[in-house]
Structure 1
């Protein structure tokens, strides 16, 4: 319920909460972006590290908190469809909106293309491999085919890979020759960063709850709501942060946030939930088709980023068109028109 039950659970209230929460997410993302920029300059971080680590981890806080809260409550659900649906939204919609918001083309660089994008593709493959190992070695007794249990030892594998990612970023920071920056109130900026994260966390929790309530009220199937409405709601902080950066002609930070946020969600958020509850059952028949779409979306974005090292207006519209095709396919799966997803 909205505000912990203080407001009635009606569609009108849910719509009002969505609008108000969106405004607070916008406010919190502004604080997050500004403080991250000042702290990155003070500590001499490259723009790509600022976007892919500092801002990305911050804007992924709602997803991490959601997993932790539900796991501690004993109602943790893997939600592979919702997680991957959010990742697909990040890969297709956020770069598209950022490209349209930028003054001209959304510029990138070779570091982003050859390090961030390719490492993100490795992250997708690593999570699929983790699921496959669960199906092969830890099948649930008497469970359906192509299901497996992800245990704590298996969950550690993606975390090790994220550790490698942070090591690579640390090496880049060590090699980066940054100019000395003075006049930054470090304590105030850290406080502003924490306040931005808190505002985003509370606002997104209310936003997701109201979106789920609206989906239930209007009879939207859980799978469809998860990969569309909930995915878009949880991706709102990433969207606003990336669009703000694009408007400020910081294309590398904008796109770095997208790739870094998805890398964090896949390699950290999901394993943390497993570590808390012990084991999580995954349906490989649901996971693989969704990961297949995510891989295709990543390849398309990678190709667009490499051509002229920029996302043009035409490419931005193409990314939105691809996401529209994805939504049409999800609706078709929900209605039973297509049957590529055999599990669930």
Structure 2
């Protein structure tokens, strides 16, 4: 039954996320916000909503390990799973803005999250505010350099003529499905963790993290298969920054997040930092500024090794 609740939770999160993105973009057009700014800010915030609701629901319901490792696991999955599999389908070109803006920003946020959690075993309200304000500052830098950055996020122009009534309905559907989706997903994940005899932290960094990355994975693979140029490593890395700045930041502002599982600071978060750091040598070795099939295989293999060590350390026979 727990598996059913997890699957239902994922379905509701996908539906809720889609309707929230639509309504947010349509509402932004009503306020005459430029298409570029919508893609960089509004869409990014809206697509982070499922992770935000899951982490917030987990923190409030007394499962801080799920709240933290949902973000840590999603950031690992974005690079190892999503980027790795997408590169296996088709090579991904890397824009120079990646190592000038996006990668330094991701490393800065990742190191800040580690420091805040390691310092006193708690992501406090003040630290959450710092992370969120840091995200706002990062967005200002992105917008300032927008003429030099290739924005891959497609914004549907047809949403500019949507009626206010339809926007309201979409917002309602998105809010309700996200709320109930996060609720049943967290409850189901707790049940699975209990039945398997593994920690909630392990479920958060694996099952929940992969589940919340599935929509992005599907979209990236389809785009790569069609040889579309809309795939941007910068946008993928941007989602990692949003996960830390908005998901962890806003969750901590509402409910401070304690670290109750030592594995988070002794293992999981180092995997996140490692996957982030390895991108620089990968894009600088031949072929430069390109992630091809071999590099994609390396990332995917590393993700498989991470999952293997994760569950064997929990005593699960694979």
TM-score, structure 1 normalization:
0.70
What aligned pairs does 1:245-284 form with structure 2 within 5 A after superposition? 245-250=223-228, 253-278=231-256, 280=258
**Residue 305 of structure 2 corresponds to residue 325 of structure 1:** yes
Contact 1:29 1:196 in 2 (8 A): no
Cα deviations by residue, 1:1-32 (Å, 9 ceiling, x for unpaired) = xxxxxxxxx36xx34x6566666666677778
Q: CA shift at 1:290, angstroms?
A: 2.5
> Which protein shows a greater Rg?
1
Q: Is the 8 A contact 2:74 2:213 kept in 1?
A: yes
CA contact (8 A) 2:97 2:149 kept: no
Deviation digits for residues 190-217 of structure 1 (CA, Å, limit 9, x no counterpart): 9498589556665565455445433433
Q: CA RMSD in A?
A: 4.1
Mapping of 1:1-344 within 5 angstroms? 10=1, 14-15=3-4, 43-45=34-36, 50=39, 53-71=41-59, 75=62, 77-79=64-66, 80-101=68-89, 104-132=90-118, 134-135=119-120, 148-173=121-146, 184-188=158-162, 191=167, 194=171, 203=181, 206-207=184-185, 209-250=187-228, 253-278=231-256, 280=258, 286-306=264-284, 307-335=287-315
Alpha-carbon distance in 1 for matches of 2:86, 2:146: 26
CA contact (8 A) 1:33 1:55 kept: yes
**Contact 2:53 / 2:178 at 8 angstroms: preserved in 1?**
no
Any stretches of 5+ residues in structure 1 without a counterpart? 1-9, 136-147, 337-344
Q: Is the 8 A contact 1:150 1:282 kept in 2?
A: no
Q: How many residues align?
A: 304
Deviations 1:126-176 (A, max 9, x none): 2223234x43xxxxxxxxxxxx44432233222222121111122133778
CA distance in 2, matches of 1:292, 1:24: 31
What is the distance in 2 between the residues matched to 1:196 and 1:246?
31
CA distance in 2: counterparts of 1:273 and 1:302, whole angstroms: 30
- Quickly say closer, same or farther: Cα 1:210–1:27, change in 2 above 3 A: same
Is the 1:30–1:241 Cα contact (8 Å) retained in structure 2? no
Are the aligned partners of 1:149 and 1:281 in contact in 2 as well (CA < 8 Å)? yes
Instruction: Describe the superposition over 1:243-262 as per-residue Cα deviations: whole angstroms up to 9, x where unpaired.
Output: 34434545554533421221
Aligned-residue offset at 1:304: 2.8
Q: Which runs of 5+ in 2 are unaligned?
A: none
